[in-house]
Every structure is written in C-alpha cells, then in structure tokens.
Amino acid sequence: MAQMSAKKMKLLEDLQAVDFVLAELTLYLDTHPDDAEALQQYQETAEKRQEIKSAVETQFGALCRNTPLPEQNTPGWDEGPWPWQL
C-alpha cells in the first residue's frame, strides 16, 4: 500500500466522523421526527459531509464506483487504504 498523506488521512477521518454523526442523527430522528433542532443539525451535517467528500474526490480520486472520474481519468482506488484499513 502506498504511503498516504497526512492531508488525505485527515479528510478521510473527518468524513468517517461526519458519517457517524449522520447515522446517529438518523436513528434519533426515526423516533423524534418533529425535533426541529435535530433536523437542522442533520441538514448542516449532511452539507458538511458533501463538502468533505467533494474535497477528497477532487484531491485524491473517487470514493465509490458510481462517482464520475476526476479530470485525470483515474479513480485512485489503488492508492489505498481501503475504508476498513483506517
């Protein structure tokens, strides 16, 4: 596996953290659908996730198979690590 830059690792860790928050908020909102504060937090976190994901894909390549390839026409998947290796 190629050595991963600290910047890429930080972005991937940030993405994992935001995904965790979204999963927890989703569970909470399943039982509290009228909680306006939680809905607002979910929306803000979802927007932050999109920003982080875009930054990762712009700088390091696609994260999943249904993402359009970056300008360099290489998905970057061979540059690892796999998500479970973080």
Q: So where are the chain's domains?
A: 6-75
pLDDT band (50, 70, 90) for residue 84:
low
| 3 — pLDDT class (breaks 50, 70, 90) | low
Residue the block writes with tokens 């796999």:
82
pLDDT higher at 59 or 33: 33
Task: Identify residue 15 by its one-letter amino acid code.
Answer: L
Average pLDDT of the chain?
A: 83
**pLDDT confidence band for 1 (50 / 70 / 90):** very low
Q: What is the mean pLDDT of residues 30-57?
A: 95
Q: What number is the average pLDDT over the span 33-55?
A: 96
The tally of CA atoms less than 13 A away on the side-chain side of residue 60 is 22
